[in-house]
Amino acid sequence: MMEELTQISFSQLLLSGTFVHVAPFEVLQEMYGVNIQPNVVVLVSMDRYPDLAEEKPLEWKMKIGRRLVEELDTILPIPFLRIWIEEGVLALLLDFHEVNPQDRKRYVLLLAEMIQKTSDQNGIHVSIGIGNFYDDPISLIYSFEEAKKSMSGRFFQGNKLIFHTDMRKNMIESLMIPLTKEKSELLSIVRIGHTEGVVTQMKGIMNRVAEIYNYNEDVFKSEVIDLLMMMSRIVLEVGVSPVSILTNTANVIQDLYHMIRYDKFAMKVCHYAEWLTEQVEKIYIGDVSPTIKHAIRYMKENHQKEVSLDDIAHYCHLSRYHFSHLFKKEVGISVMDFFNKLRIDKSLFYLEKTEFPVHEIANQVGIYDSNYFSRLFKKYMKSSPTEYRHLMRKI
């Protein structure tokens, strides 16, 4: 166990490039008792690991990881170090100095095929990413980054694949800005704390962004991460404390840039989008009973529909009178006042951040008579939608 921990620590220093701040490579070798000098990084990633590991106990994860490691220890014919860089993804630091430089690329591809074949026989299916060779230990970090980059072809699809950094073709990034309406709708429902709607909308946007940009991983990640940053700004504008929002957003974005699987990326994005929206929801709901919380979520789910007081009371299994009394007692305003204000709050985002005409904004909040929308808006905001828009543009 101590030998394994020593190798992990040594490997981490190499892959991060931070050993240059500790000691010269030769001194580091002597300190850690490691005799090899890796010159290429190969990533071995278990296919569909998030699905396989879901709800599995720690013992299962340790067992399957140990099984893969034992197979590699048995079959690899050249010196190597290993380190888990995330759940289900093992980095191999291989020493090819004894192999003719002209033969290294062919040899490492054969090794990758051998790893896959042996793993298949043991019921573990893997995909593999291969970096370039660097004889200078300081440059091994580049091989690591290339190995991760090479697997971008697997980010969206594919199992039991082998990728080399040279196989990755440069793609022309599209200059179009897609999904203006979809993004605006997402950000507007963040503003009213509509958690379930945000998650559904985010999933749809990620699917469409992937299609529009022809599954270009770099552009896809950039678009989605930009959207998360916009969501964070909306949450701050609503009045949520910036302390946890800024810190958590920075950490999440850093994690997302390093992920090499779409399913895990999408899961983290949705979880964080949900958490962000919950911070707004806490402001909206406050300390209310489960019944009232249930009612408010129903109103958010149906804010684009014609919903009556009777509909909401029926949904909560209460009489109209009892529900109205309970809601006003806990929230401080009537049910329909809250429902209408919810719609107006959503419209504020569109008026402040988009150029959509007023009648279209009215439709987006479930009011299909623009004159009625204007009257309702003036009741709550003391100005017309157009006046409000002009005022906000001057600020």
Q: Are 256 and 269 in contact (CB under 8 A)?
A: yes
- Residue 174 corresponds to which tokens in the numbers above? 């599209």
| pLDDT value for 168 | 42
Q: Give the span between the Cα atoms of 251 and 293, in whole angstroms.
A: 30
| Residue-level pLDDT at 180 | 83
What number of other Cβ atoms are within 10 A of residue 24's Cβ? 11
Distance CA 318, CA 313 (A): 5
What angle is formed at CA 20 by the lines to CA 15 and CA 23, rounded to 5 degrees?
115
Mean pLDDT of 255-264: 83
CA distance 323 to 314: 9
Per-residue pLDDT of 286-332, as tens digits, reads 789 999 999 999 999 999 999 999 999 999 999 999 999 999 999 99
Q: Using CA atoms, how far apart are residues 286 and 172, in angstroms rounded to an integer?
A: 48
Res. 159 pLDDT band, cuts 50 70 90: low
**pLDDT tens across 207-239, in order?**
888 878 767 788 889 999 999 999 999 999 999
pLDDT at 167: 47
Put simply, whether the predicted model's pTM sits higher than 0.95 gets the answer: no
Q: What is the DSSP letter of 123?
A: T
Q: Is CATH 3.30.70.270 the classification given to domain 2-167?
A: yes
Q: Can you say whether residue 224 is alpha, beta or left, with left for phi > 0 and alpha for psi between -120 and 50 degrees?
A: alpha
DSSP state of 22: T
pLDDT of residue 170: 41
Per DSSP, helices labelled H in 167-261 are: 180-191, 195-212, 217-238, 242-258
First CA to last CA across the chain, in angstroms? 62
Residue with tokens 């719609």: 343
Percentage above 70 pLDDT, the chain: 93
Instruction: Please check whether the two domains, 2-167 and 290-394, share a CATH topology.
Output: no
DSSP 138: G
| Alpha helix stretches (DSSP H) within the chain | 2-16, 25-32, 49-53, 58-75, 104-121, 140-150, 152-156, 180-191, 195-212, 217-238, 242-258, 262-285, 290-301, 309-315, 320-331, 335-353, 358-364, 370-381, 385-394
Q: For the chain, which residues make up each domain, given as ranges?
A: 2-167, 180-285, 290-394
Entry field: residues in the chain:
395
Q: Which residue has the tokens 């030769």?
A: 26
Taking the domain 290-394, which CATH number applies? 1.10.10.60
Q: Could you tell me which of 126, 127, 124 has the C-alpha nearest to residue 153? A: 127
| Average pLDDT of the chain to the nearest whole number | 89
Q: What is the DSSP letter of 214?
A: T
pLDDT value of residue 174: 40
pLDDT at 163: 67
Q: What single-letter DSSP state applies at residue 46?
A: E
- Nearest-angstrom CA–CA distance, 310 and 243: 41
Question: Taking the C-alpha atoms of 189, 193, 195 and 200 in order, what is their torsion angle to the nearest 10 degrees?
Answer: 0
Structure tokens given for 196: 């379930």
> How far is residue 159 from each of residues 48, 51, 128, 210, 375, measured CA to CA in Å?
8, 13, 10, 19, 57
Position 133, amino acid: F
